Amino acid sequence: MLLLKLIQSLIKTLHSEGTPGQVAAGLALGAILGLTPLLNLHNAVVFALIVVLNVSFPAAMMGWALFVPVGFLLDPAFDWIGRALLLETPALRPLWTALYNAPVVPLTSFNNTIVLGSLVFASALWLPLFFASRWGVVRYRATVAERLKRSALYRTVAASKLYNLYRLFRPEP
Amino acid sequence: MPVAVFRWKAVVPLLVLGTATLGLWLLFAEPIARRAAESVGTTLVGAEVEIERVHLDLPHGRVEIRGLTVASPFEALQNLLQADLLVADIDPLPLLEKKLVIDRLTATGLKFGTPRRTDGRTGGRSDGVIGQVTRWGEQLHVPALALPTGKISIDRLDPGQLDTPRAAAALAARADSARQAWDSQLKGLDVAATADSARQMVERLRGAKATDVKLLGDARRTLGQLKQAQDRVTALERAARSGIAALQAGAAALADAKQRDYATARGLLKLPGLDAPDIGAALFGSAAVDRFQRALYWVELGRRYMPPGLLPRETPGPKRARRAGATVRFPREHDDPAFLLRTAELSLELAAGAASPRTYAASVRGVTSDPALYGRPATASAAAPGFRLGALLDHVRPTPRDTAAASLAGVALPSVSLPSLPIRLEPGVGTMALSFSVQGDQVRARWTVQSERVRWTRDSSGTAAPSPIGDLVWRAVSGIPALEVSASLTGSLTRPELGVSSNLDRAIAERLRAMAGAAVAAAERRMRAQVDSLVDGPVNAVRDQVAALGGDVTKQLGAQRAQLEEARRALEQRLPGLRLP
């Protein structure tokens, strides 16, 4: 069922009315959810951005789903990045000390090596991912999309009830 | 057509979702707080922490914890403590900085050492602080009391283990080489030729004229040669005397080597431990080490979670499906510590298992994760009839200083099985005291147990089999009415020294000595005879060799000297005017 939803989401995202930029922005924001540990305050902000900004919500969900395993795989690298920033860069220590002793900021768990490492990595990846996925969506729509629209699988998926749910969050023109 | 940036229609659902999330959080805040407290407590203590219920009253800054159970990190089926109710007055503002400042904590119904059904220890015996303390305890040598049979066994004496035959062989080789050297030097002197030359000169002088200047010159040279030969003999004699003295010293040193061999042979005797300190350590050493390990465990935990200084501190991150990583704290002067318990008032129930448990009051102050920020040491104190407790954890300065002392009178002391013996000691009610001080790396600790009315029982259910020594120890201890045990620990944490003594030591040791003394003496005699049989032959041979060498050399040199002296005297008689000085 989960796999079906994912395929449905993928197809409908790529064929949605959203512009390639909206799809790419959604995917890149969703990647942040997938790359960083989910239950953190910064992800509430990212989720709010996905909902409020006019980006593709299914693309964001797809980005999240795609990047969760990547996050697990890259945890050692995130730990290394976080450790280097938090403990091995004396120039940044005043910044961390100020943030650690500021209200609310410590609730983000920025001082955890995995959280900080993954957030920095995801932030650095955001623009490249945005441009790469926007180019990919454009190329896809120009080449594969029309043929796929005529396929039986697409018609089956598009006819399902989930499509109606998707329409609630589809990007506005 | 321009694309709108915001999806306004989603704002309301987002607000609804946020409100619902907040509502759910408030609804489940207490279970969440309970689980968080259990998780943090379990990590800190190294054993399961269980809480029945948490009630949060954040508007009034009050948290109530009911039914707290902390498992013992040392005992499988025992709790460290249980508390009926803990009420904490917390400062709400530091919570925004993820800091917990408890202004006042009251705990009622605290009980210690209660039983539990499951093993509450979380780490293996080799993990974390408990592993560190276990390894530390293993270096404290507790001798085994190997008395169940009382037999004195003797290992086979290997001649290769003995020093004396080796030393005798070396001495014999030295004597041989000395003899060869001296013989060669004696031959080199050629005393006979010099003496013959002198005798011939005497003959020539017999018929010579007093005016024969050439002959007189020859006679003078011969006399000079005689003198030189005498000097060489004297020098050789001196060297030989010194060499012989060295060989004789070597022969005398064989006696010392033999004593060492006796000691080696005695080491092969497996004797029961008869020294009183050994017996004390064997009987109560393990119990003492256990107490000291527990005290050190809490000191090490304190040092780990209450470190001195203001450098960033790294602790393991939260448990989750993803890797935990490390969470780093960045304490800053004049800010709140990550955790601070200003004061705690505790109501303790000691001897919880007894028919009439007693309730005491204790107080704790200044427990903090950042002592350098708080600026004062953490203290704990309690005083009541028969009970005293004082502790100070001073991590404010760079070198931590931890001291604690407690004594409890009228407490039911745990029974003790004497190691390897079918005897059990029921100390009854007595006084137990423990003091433990660690300053930097230096440790000083003392554990004492006193009981006026002890009871001894034959433990037939144990694994130790009845033995003559067991009977002997039973006769020695069963009449002893009181128990006094004192264990001390000194030195550095890396090289601690344990000392244990008790009033049972002397009683048992005297009995054992009386019984085992004769057998030990006989066994020692047998070992000495065995050593003698292996050692005396080579020793006597080399002694004879050295004595003979001394005699021979002295005799030969004496003969040479006499020969030269006689020739010289004869020559000088012929030539009175040529007498040499």
CB-CB neighbors (< 8 A) of A113 in chain B: 317, 325-328
pLDDT single digits (tens) B317-328: 888 889 999 999
Give B315's pLDDT tier (boundaries 50, 70, 90): confident
- Closest residue in A to B320 (Cα–Cα): A37
Residues B484 and B431 sit within 8 Å (Cβ to Cβ):
no
Q: Do B3 and A39 count as a contact with CB atoms less than 8 A apart? A: no
Using a CB–CB cutoff of 8 Å, tell me whether B32 touches chain A: no
Give every CB contact of residue B509 below 8 A, 6+ residues apart in sequence. B274, B275, B276, B279
pLDDT single digits (tens) B334-391: 889 999 999 999 988 766 555 566 778 899 999 999 999 999 999 999 887 788 899 9
Give B394's pLDDT tier (boundaries 50, 70, 90): very high
Is the pLDDT score of B523 beyond 80?
no
Give B580's pLDDT tier (boundaries 50, 70, 90): very low
pLDDT score at B140: 80
Q: Do B326 and A107 count as a contact with CB atoms less than 8 A apart? A: no
CB-CB neighbors (< 8 A) of B314 in chain A: 87
Which of B322, B369, B370 is the best mutation test for A, with the most CBs of A within 10 A? B322
CB-CB neighbors (< 8 A) of A114 in chain B: 317, 322-325
CA B243 to chain centroid: 47
H or E element in which residue A66 lies: helix A57-86
Of the candidates B105, B64, B132, B115, the one whose C-alpha atom is nearest the C-alpha of residue B380 is B105
CB-CB neighbors (< 8 A) of A109 in chain B: 318, 327
Closest approach of A83 to chain B, Cα-based (Å): 8
Here the tokens at position B359 are 């309730």
Residues B394 and B400 sit within 8 Å (Cβ to Cβ):
yes
Of the candidates B441, B374, B434, B440, the one whose C-alpha atom is nearest the C-alpha of residue B405 is B434
Cβ neighbours, 10 Å, residue B509: 19
pLDDT score at B50: 94
Here the tokens at position B563 are 């020969």
Report CA-CA distances (Å) from B202 to A103, B193, B569: 125, 14, 10
Here the tokens at position A72 are 């697990």
pLDDT single digits (tens) B419-465: 667 788 888 888 999 999 999 889 999 999 998 888 888 876 656 56
Report CA-CA distances (Å) from A92 to A41, A82, A89, B89, B91: 22, 12, 6, 35, 30
H or E element in which residue B125 lies: none
Give every CB contact of residue A6 below 8 A, 6+ residues apart in sequence. A62, A65
| More confident of the two residues B402 and B410 | B402
Average pLDDT, chain B: 83
Residues B202 and B574 sit within 8 Å (Cβ to Cβ):
yes
For residues B269 and B266, give the distance between their C-alpha atoms in angstroms, rounded to a whole number: 5
CB-CB neighbors (< 8 A) of B39 in chain A: none
Using a CB–CB cutoff of 8 Å, tell me whether B333 touches chain A: no
pLDDT score at B476: 76
pLDDT score at B578: 47
pLDDT single digits (tens) A116-126: 999 999 999 99
Q: Do B3 and A97 count as a contact with CB atoms less than 8 A apart? A: no
Residue with tokens 């006094």: B484
Would you give the DSSP letter of residue B72? Answer: -
Number of separate helices (H) and strands (E) present in chain B: 9, 20
A51, A82, A96: residue with CB nearest B325? A82
**% of chain B at pLDDT higher than 90:** 22
Report CA-CA distances (Å) from B160 to A167, B163, B265: 96, 8, 12
- Closest residue in B to A105 (Cα–Cα): B97
Using a CB–CB cutoff of 8 Å, tell me whether B12 touches chain A: no
| More confident of the two residues B470 and B79 | B79
Closest approach of B336 to chain A, Cα-based (Å): 8
Closest approach of A33 to chain B, Cα-based (Å): 13
pLDDT score at B124: 63
Q: Collapsing DSSP states into helix, strand and coil, what is residue B293?
A: helix
CB-CB neighbors (< 8 A) of B324 in chain A: 114
Residue with tokens 């309730």: B359
For residues A164 and A155, give the distance between their C-alpha atoms in angstroms, rounded to a whole number: 14
- One-letter amino acid for residue B76 of the chain: A
H or E element in which residue B73 lies: none
CB-CB neighbors (< 8 A) of A99 in chain B: 330
Please report the residues numbered 301 through 320 in chain B whose beta carbons come closer than 8 angstroms to any beta carbon of chain A. 312, 314, 317-318, 320
CB contacts < 8 Å between A and B, how many?
Answer: 104
Q: Which of B28-37, B154-163, B260-269, B473-482 has the highest mean pLDDT?
A: B28-37
For residues B152 and B118, give the distance between their C-alpha atoms in angstroms, rounded to a whole number: 45
Q: Do B328 and A79 count as a contact with CB atoms less than 8 A apart? A: no
Q: Collapsing DSSP states into helix, strand and coil, what is residue B46?
A: coil
Is the pLDDT score of B519 beyond 80?
no
Q: Do A104 and B329 count as a contact with CB atoms less than 8 A apart? A: no
Residues B38 and B31 sit within 8 Å (Cβ to Cβ):
no
Q: Do A53 and B5 count as a contact with CB atoms less than 8 A apart? A: yes
Closest approach of B301 to chain A, Cα-based (Å): 22
Closest approach of B300 to chain A, Cα-based (Å): 24
Which of A46, A80, A86, A167 is the best mutation test for B, with the most CBs of B within 10 A? A86
Torsion of CA A125, A131, A137, A142, to 10 degrees: -150
pLDDT score at B20: 93
Is the pLDDT score of B94 beyond 70?
yes
Here the tokens at position A98 are 């100020």
Secondary structure string (H, E, C) spanning B466-508: CCHHHHHHHHHHCCCCCEEEEEEEEEECCCEEEEEEEHHHHHH
CA A8 to chain centroid: 17
pLDDT score at B145: 64
Residues, chain A: 173
Strand partners, B435: B405, B446
Is the pLDDT score of B24 beyond 70?
yes
A102, A113, A173: residue with CB nearest B325? A113
Q: What does the angle CA B355 – CA B431 – CA B490 come to, to the nearest 5 degrees?
A: 140
- Closest residue in B to A171 (Cα–Cα): B7
Closest approach of A89 to chain B, Cα-based (Å): 12
Closest approach of A101 to chain B, Cα-based (Å): 6
pLDDT score at B352: 54
Number of separate helices (H) and strands (E) present in chain A: 9, 0
- Can you state the percent helix, strand and coil of chain A, rounding each to 5? 80, 0, 20
Sign of the four-CA dihedral B71, B72, B77, B79: negative
pLDDT score at B282: 78
B3, B96, B312: residue with CB nearest A103? B96
Give every CB contact of residue B462 below 8 A, 6+ residues apart in sequence. B417, B422, B424
Q: Which parts of chain A have pLDDT scores under 50?
A: 168-169, 173
Secondary structure string (H, E, C) spanning B533-551: HHHHHHHHHHHHHHHHHHH
For residues A111 and A151, give the distance between their C-alpha atoms in angstroms, rounded to a whole number: 50
Closest approach of B338 to chain A, Cα-based (Å): 9
Give B312's pLDDT tier (boundaries 50, 70, 90): confident
Report ipTM for this prediction: 0.81
pLDDT score at A79: 96
Give B401's pLDDT tier (boundaries 50, 70, 90): very high
